Structures are given as C-alpha cells and as structure tokens.
Chains A and B, each alone.
Chain A
Amino acid sequence: MAVTDTEAFEARKAADIAFVQSATQEPLPPPMSHSGAVGWLRENLISGPMNIALTILSILLIAWIAPPVIKFLFVDAVWSGTDRDACIVTAERPHVGACWAFVRDRFSYFIYGSYPVDQRWRVDIFFGMLAVGIFWLAWLRAPRRDIGSIYFFVVLPIVSFILLSGLPLIGLPKVDTNYWGGILVSIVVAAVGIVFSLPIGVLLALGRRSDMPAVRLLSVIFIEFVRGVPLITVLFMASVMLPLFVPESWSPDKLLRALVGVAMFSAAYMAEVVRAGLQAISKGQYEGAQAVGLSYWQMMRLIVLPQALRITIPNIVNNYISLFKDTTLVFIVGIFDLLKTIEAARIDPKWAAPSTSPTGYAFAAIFYFTCCYLMSRYARQTEARLEKSHRR
C-alpha cells in the first residue's frame, strides 16, 4: 500500500506538475519592522505611548547630564600645571574643567600620605603582598588555598605590621602611624577589617547557634548591639572611650583605636552573614559528623564550615564591599585616609581653585568605584558558579 503511494508520488513528480514545489522553500526573512535595528527600536523603545514617553524622558535626562559631565572631566580639563594658576578662570580661558594637574601633583600624597619618601618602598611591598593574598584566596581553583588562607590571615598581618610600622632591630626605622595616610590607610583599615572580621564573625555566629545559653546570650547581645548603632558611634567609642578603659601606660594610638572599632563593627555584620550560611546546611550534615564521632570543633572545621563558607562567599564579598566603603568614616575621628588627604589637599591655598574640589572627589570616586565594582563582579560571578554547581 505505502509502496504504491510513494510510487504514485514519484510518478506525479516525474510528470512535473508546475504548481507543486519539489523542494522546501527557504523561510523568508522577518519583515523589516520586526528585525534588525528597526525591529529592536520598535520593540524596545517605541512600542506604545508609555514607552515613547519613557524614551523621550531618558534621552532628555542623558542630554542634560552627560555633555556637561564629559565636558568638565575631559574637554575643558587641565592636565598639567604646577599650582592653582593652571586651574583658575582667566579672560582667555573662560571655561575650566577638572583640574587633573592637581591630582597629578598630589598623587603620591594621596597614595602614601606623609609616609617618609625614602621608606615608601615598604608600602609598595605591602600592596604587592596584599595583592598576592587576595588573588590566592579569590581564585577558587588556585593551588594550595589552605596555605593561602594561612598566608592571608596569619603571615600577612604580622609581616605587614613589621614592614609598615618598622622594627629597628632588623634595620627598618620606625614610622609613626601619624605619618601614614591616603590610600595606604584606607587599604590598611579595610584589610584589618577583612582579616579580623571573618574569624571573629565565625566565632560569634557559632556562639549564636551554640547550645550553651551563656555563650548564646553574650553573642546575641554583642551582635545586636553593634548592628543597632551607627559605625560613627562605634568609632567614637573606640577613639574616646577605649583609652579610658585600658591602663594609662598602654595609650593605644589613634589608628589602632579606629582599627579596633572597624574590626568589631564588621565582625558583627559578618557573624550574621555566616549564621545564614550555617542555617543553610542541612541537619543531616551535623548528625552525620556526630555519628562518625567527630568532636564539635572537628565537625565545624571539617564538615560544616567549609560548606557554609563556600555558599556564603557572595554575601561575604558584599559585606566586604560595604566595609570598604565604610572605611571612609575613620575620616571623622581624624585619621588621614584617602578622603581626608583629599580634603586636606583641596583646601590647601596652593591649589585653591573652584574646580579643585570636584576633581579631588572625582579621583576618590574613581578609586572607590573601581575597587567596589571589581568586588561586586567577583561576588556575582561566584554566585553564578555556585548556582551552576548546585543545579547539577
């Protein structure tokens, strides 16, 4: 039966009937109005009165903001000069934009503060060591990440402390923290926050989930207290109350007090992030670990924390981003971080010009934006990776 049908069809095809297609036609391209640039425009920008209104609104907004900003930052900008004369408005130069000459002139001040010039190589080494540590830990497939974390959380703090503040015994002259400043201090504050907040935060999170009521209560009080007050008050507490609470002979220096405040503050936030991760680990993991006879600390170190910390990496990094932005607050208790050096430089009469302040802030904005943006990209990438590995 089927054979005869096919044969009949073949016969008809052979007869070559004009109105029957013998081969499949290529599909026509979609109409102009739905493809290519025009289609994209129609779809995304002008598909209805509301959409048209939004498009016009956004074009107006861009036209209002973008040209003046570009003009200020690049077109009218002053790129070189030695003092304020380069950046003030004169008759032959009625429009003066960003005064980049100011940033170029004070660049080393913004990075090192008043750190002695002949000792600045120590700061460079510190930056290099920190970069290695961050890279080692951030790259999830790096070799020997366990050594990496020892390096980052134990070796790096000790070596950097000796390197930066000096040890006359091995030939490094002492540099008082009063001379530290700029990006160096911002990075030191952030690094101390990052290095100390994670271990303390993990301990607090474990304490909050502990079976011992006294430990739980103390952890809860600390976490909720610190999270309930602004960082400024914690810094004020650290800078004016801490000297009262220790014997007079200790008298911790100003930077150290601020570092204690920042570390305490970020540890409380980190504790909540880690707690969320601990709660996400199923009870079976705990019970399994106990069933094979692991002690509490073995269970946490070998089974629970590796899983909990891994799934909280994105949140930990997000926490680091806000910590990094919050380091600017040490400015208020009188420490020369990047913002404070910019404040000091912009009111310096040598560079007093109307465009100096916006330029200084633009420089700080570029620095903070780059760092925070890179961190948030990393957090997002890790999140996507984790999602993929969870889906299977």
Chain B
Amino acid sequence: MSVVRETEKPKVSLLYDPKVRSIAYQLGLCAIIAFLVYSAATNAINNLAKANIASGFGFWNTTAGFDISQTLIEYSTVSTYGRAFWVGLLNTLLVAAIGIVLATILGFVVGVLRLSKNFLISRLAAGYVELIRNLPLLLQLLFWYNAVLKALPELRDSLAIPGGAFLNNRGLFVPQPVATSGFTAVWIAFFAGIVGSIVFRNWARKRQEQTGQQAPVFLVSLGCIIGLPLLVFFLAGMPLELSFPEKGRFNIRGGVEILPEFAALLFGLVLYTAAFIAEAVRAGIQAVSHGQTEAAYSLGLRAQPTLRLVVIPQAMRVIIPPLTNQYLNLTKNSSLAVAIGYPDLVQVFTGTVLNQTGQAVEVVAVTMAVYLTISLGTSAVMNWYNRRIALVER
C-alpha cells in the first residue's frame, strides 16, 4: 500500500488533499449550524423564562374556552386545545379534499376547452387562465368574501332558492338529508355495486385477452354502482327524509348551513387552482405528438377510443407531476383561510391557540409538522402512481 502511494501519487501536504479539505469544510459547516442551533435554543429558553411562558405540551389537555364556528367532530368551549387542533385539522382536510375534486374537474374542462377549435371558447378559457393566474390568491379570497358574499342580503331578506334553500350573508342553508331506518341497505347495495363492477371489469378484460370480444364495461359498472343502490332505495320505500331549513326572525333552524367563509375559501381555491391545472392539462395534451393520433386512426380506431386508449394515457404521464404539485399547493394555500376567518388549522391553532397560550415554538412546530406530513405523504402516493404509469423503457 505504502509502496504504491510512493510510486504513483506524489506526496501532498494534508492542506491540499481534497478529501481532507472536504471533511474539514463539512466539519466547519456542521459546527456553525450546531452553534446557531445552540445559541437559538439558549436564547429561546432565556426569553421564554423571562416572559413566564411554559414550555412543553402540557397545554394540549387544558380547556380551550373558545368556540369554533364549524366543527366536524363534537366540540364546545369546555373542550381541550388538543380537541381544537383536531377540529382545525379536519376543517383543513375538508376544504382541501372538496377543493381538489372540484379543481380537477374544472381544470380539465378548461384545459381541454383551451385547445378547442372553437375560437370564442378557447379565447374565453385563455382569458380565464391569464386573469386568475396573474392575481394573488389572497386578493381573490378577500374579493369573494368581502365584496361578494358579505354583500348578499341580510337574514330577513334571504334569497329563497327553489328546492327549499336560503342564501344570505350568513351563509347558504340547504335541506339536510336524514337517513331513516332501512337506509343501510342502500349503502350495502352501493358497496356491492363497486365490488361487482370490479369483478366484471376483470372478467371482461380476461375474456377480451382470450377471445377478443369486448364487453360494455362502462355501462355495466354504471348500472352496478348507481342503478343498484337506486333500485334498493325505491324497493325499501325511499328511507330518506329532507330536513328543510326554516326561516325564523333571527336565525334559520334545521338544514345544513354552509358558512360564507367556507364557500368563499372553497370558491377562491377552486378557481385559482383550476387555472393552473388547466395549464398543466394543456401542456400534457400538446406533448402527445399528432403522429400518435394519426397512427391510431390508420389502425382503424375511432376518435373516442383513440382519445381514451392512445392520447390520454400518454398525456397523463406529463400531467401527473404538475398536477401533484397543484394538489399540494391547494392544500397549503387553504391556510389563507386565516385571512377570511374560516376555522382551519392555521386559524384555530396557529391563530387562537397560539394567542391564548403564547407557546409559539410548540404550536408553530406542530402546524408545520402537519403540513409536512401531508406534503410528504401526498408526494409519496403520487410518486408511486407516477412510477406505475411511467414509460417502461427496455
């Protein structure tokens, strides 16, 4: 070993050995970071002690003492801070989940319309995308909330919407479906329908591989998933009642109340994210070369199967990564709820709980941990899906 070194490598001083240098740099960097973390921690401990603020998660089980306007789980003023955290988190997830579904639908529609041969509709779609993408989301949310929803009539002049719903500046009140006895059968039929359609699809695929005959998978699945529960629903004697909202003098009783904050946040998020999704969809479809469509036509495929079997699967490959990003952005942007007072995680936890307890480090750390988990979890799932549909190269 030492012989080799003497003959092949000139002796370098330690100062000029790249390996030694690299290790020294890294040690130096780690030392600086460690020093920063250490001084930040000692400062924090000193400052907290001076301000008489407790540390640790003892506050988690103390009574919160404030009310929240929208709760998906049971919550009252005597509930704990921990409970308030879960209420906020569920509200965030609710608006994110509904927002993602609606934004995907709107985004795909607008993206396809933007590529339409129809001059008017493609200009309209382009105008929508340009306008929305160049305005800050916060401005849009404030506009929808303060200028549109808050400008709706007062309670006593509520707009009555046909079908028993009311709209006023306190929100949208819609009839609430209440399941009576026998409704479980409909659920059972629904799940049976899903299982049935999966079984049928597998059977149809196998048969097509063996014999080449095709089966109407879409129609049969539709019948199983929607038709079967409907049939059971009518057979069981329609076990569903609608609880209509009734307008009193000072409030509205019964029905489901959709808060204006929720509506404004959802509306703003969906319109904003859909514009970005539309761009991703347009880019994805344009990335599939025209030769693919022509080749499919020359093989005898019609327009619809060409789209379904040739264009969309290839476009999806390009669309999925930016689409994932947009889903994450929507979830993160839902934290703007704090500006219009929708009780999401940031508003409830980083807002009210932080103000009441003063435990900034713990509260901000927990909030960040939640968003990080959501982000990393979503990207893990989408990466898995992306790998599954990615091009398999030999």
Residues of A within 8 A of B (CB): 43-45, 47, 51, 54-55, 57-59, 61-62, 211-215, 218, 224-225, 227-233, 236-237, 240-241, 243-248, 321, 325-329, 331-332, 339, 343, 346, 354, 357-358, 361, 364-365, 368-369, 372-373, 376
Contact = CB atoms under 8 A, between A and B. Distances in A.
Given A47-B117, A214-B30, A368-B135, A354 B43 contact: no
A127 B320 CA distance: 41
A93 to B, nearest CB: 18
Q: Is the interface of A mostly helix, strand, loop or mixed?
A: helix
Nearest to A369: B134
Interface in B319-373: 332-333, 335-336, 338-339, 346, 350, 354, 360-361, 364, 367-368, 371-372
A90 B142 CA distance: 27
26 contacts: A51-B118, A55-B121, A58-B124, A214-B26, A218-B29, A227-B375, A228-B371, A228-B375, A229-B332, A229-B368, A229-B371, A229-B375, A230-B346, A232-B346, A236-B364, A237-B364, A245-B44, A329-B138, A332-B338, A332-B339, A354-B151, A357-B147, A357-B151, A368-B139, A369-B134, A372-B134
Interface string B105-142: 00000000100111111001000001101111111001
A241 B360 contact: yes
Given A215-B25, A232-B338, A244-B47, A365 B135 contact: yes
Contact of A58 (B43, B48, B121, B136): B121
Interface of chain B, main secondary structure: helix
Interface residues of B, number: 53
B146 interface: yes
Contacts of A361: 139, 142-143, 146-147
Given A244-B47, A372-B134, A44 B118 contact: yes
A248 B338 contact: no
Contacts of B139: 328, 339, 361, 364-365, 368
A54 B47 contact: no
Given A218-B33, A228-B375, A368-B134, 5 more contacts: A43-B117, A55-B120, A240-B354, A246-B43, A361-B146
Contact of B138 (A55, A61, A225, A339): A339
A327 B138 CA distance: 10
B40 interface: yes
A305 B131 CA distance: 34
A245 B371 contact: no
A232 B335 contact: yes
Interface string B133-164: 11111110011001100010000000000000
A368 B132 CA distance: 11
A61 B117 CA distance: 18
B192 to A, nearest CB: 37
A372 B132 CA distance: 11
Contacts of B211: none
A233 B143 contact: no
Contacts of A232: 335-336, 338, 346, 350
B379 to A, nearest CB: 9
Nearest to B151: A354
B135 A325 contact: yes
A241 B25 contact: no
B8 to A, nearest CB: 20
A365 B142 CA distance: 11
A372 B26 contact: no
A166 B91 CA distance: 46
A227 B116 CA distance: 35
B50 interface: yes
Contacts of B304: none
B242 interface: no
B117 A212 contact: no
B124 A61 contact: yes
A332 B341 CA distance: 11
A54 B119 CA distance: 10
Contacts of A343: 142
Contacts of A339: 136, 138-139, 142
A211 B25 CA distance: 12
A284 B111 CA distance: 39
Nearest to B379: A228
Given A44-B117, A228-B376, A243-B47, A373 B364 contact: no
Contact of A51 (B22, B47, B117): B117
Contacts of A248: 43, 46-47, 50
A233 B364 contact: yes
Contacts of A357: 146-147, 151
Task: Pick the most buried of B22, B139, B146, B346: most chain A CB atoms within 10 A of its CB.
Answer: B139
Interface string B78-104: 000000000000000000000000000
Contact of B118 (A55, A213, A354, A364): A55
A58 B133 CA distance: 21
Contacts of A373: 130, 134
Given A45-B118, A243-B47, A244-B361, A358 B143 contact: yes
A245 B36 CA distance: 9
Interface string B55-92: 00000000000000000000000000000000000000
Contacts of B376: 224, 228
Contacts of A58: 118, 120-121, 124
Given A55-B121, A331-B138, A233 B22 contact: no
Nearest to B30: A214
B333 A230 contact: yes
Contacts of B22: 211-212
